[in-house]
Amino acid sequence: MDRIPDDPLQRELWLQRWADEQAERLGPREQPLTRRLRAGAAKKVERLVKRVEARAESRFDRDLHTGEMVLDDPEHAVANRVAYVASEWHVLPRALWYLRAGRQDVFCDFGCGKGRVVHQAARWPLRRVIGVEVSPGLAGFARSLLATHRQEHRCRSVEIVVADATTFEIPDDLTIAYFYDPFRGEILDAVLRNIIASIERNPRRVRLIYVHPSQATRVLETGRFRLLKEQRGGLRDIRLARAAIFESVA
């Protein structure tokens, strides 16, 4: 670096040149005020989004009461089973819209809990909608909900089956399976094997909607499914509401 000149005017020019060189070397940087404004705006947007999501949850769950978590159900207190948590309202409609689901489709929610997703699916013009739930208490709640809101359903064949997902007999016309991370490990493997066996009995295309896909690698490791689409978890991209959509392959 050159020696700082003694002459005041030359010193000022030297310092200005040095400052320009440093600015060019470091690149453009936001001023502290700009950073604070950006951070403040981001927090306001996040608070607004949270209020919108809370209002949507209250609006869509009105008279259904499916939103409350169930952490003390004995049937779920088993290794590789997950306690009941309701799916976010926006997840299923986006996935069904992407899949162009219609009257040709048979839909099954594995681990349907209180029946929120079954109720949502039944509002689509699907051929048949099934909910599988290991807990008799949660299944009873789901049946009551569906009976109360039957007039809202476009699908006329809707049922709740009380069964362990590993022993549930997969319908050979199933085309869409829904998992909201209801089980993991060996249970997930067993259900996937059963779906694959059903496809082998009756060759067809089956799609999996896997929400909060914590063990998506197990789906791919079967060698019988490929990833079609990954969907964001809503406005805030909530991890628990992210979805991976898979399609069966020959």
Q: What is the DSSP string of 60-78?
A: HTTTT---S-B---GGG-S
pLDDT by residue (tens digit) across 234-250?
656 677 789 999 999 98
Whether the per-residue pLDDT at 125 is higher than 70: the answer is yes
Q: What is the mean pLDDT of residues 69-81?
A: 79
* pLDDT category of residue 72 using cuts at 50, 70 and 90: confident
pLDDT by residue (tens digit) across 170-199?
999 999 999 999 999 999 999 999 999 999
Strand order of the sheet with strand 176-180?
158-162, 128-133, 106-110, 176-180, 207-211, 243-248, 225-231
Whether the per-residue pLDDT at 121 is higher than 80: the answer is yes
Task: Look up residue 155 and give its DSSP letter.
Answer: -
Query: CA 49: distance to chain centroid?
Result: 17
Half-sphere exposure in the Cβ direction for 113 (13 Å, CA): 27
For the chain, where are the alpha helices, taking DSSP H only? 8-26, 32-60, 91-99, 116-122, 136-148, 185-201, 216-221
Tell me yes or no: is domain 74-248 CATH 3.40.50.410: no
Q: What is the mean pLDDT of residues 145-168?
A: 96
Q: What is the mean pLDDT of residues 205-210?
A: 98
Residues 6+ apart with CB under 8 A from 19: none
pTM of the predicted protein model: 0.77
Task: Look up residue 181 and give its DSSP letter.
Answer: S
CA distances from 13 to 18, 21, 145, 162, 168 (A): 9, 12, 79, 83, 82
Domain boundaries, the chain: 74-248
pLDDT value, residue 237? 63
pLDDT value, residue 68? 79
pLDDT value, residue 156? 94
pLDDT value, residue 238? 72
Two tokens at 94? 């986006």
pLDDT value, residue 102? 97
Whether the per-residue pLDDT at 64 is higher than 70: the answer is yes
What is d(CA 242, CA 239) in angstroms, rounded to the nearest whole number?
5
Strands 225-231 and 176-180 turn out to be unpaired
Average pLDDT across the chain, whole number: 85
CA distances from 164 to 78, 133, 233 (A): 12, 7, 28
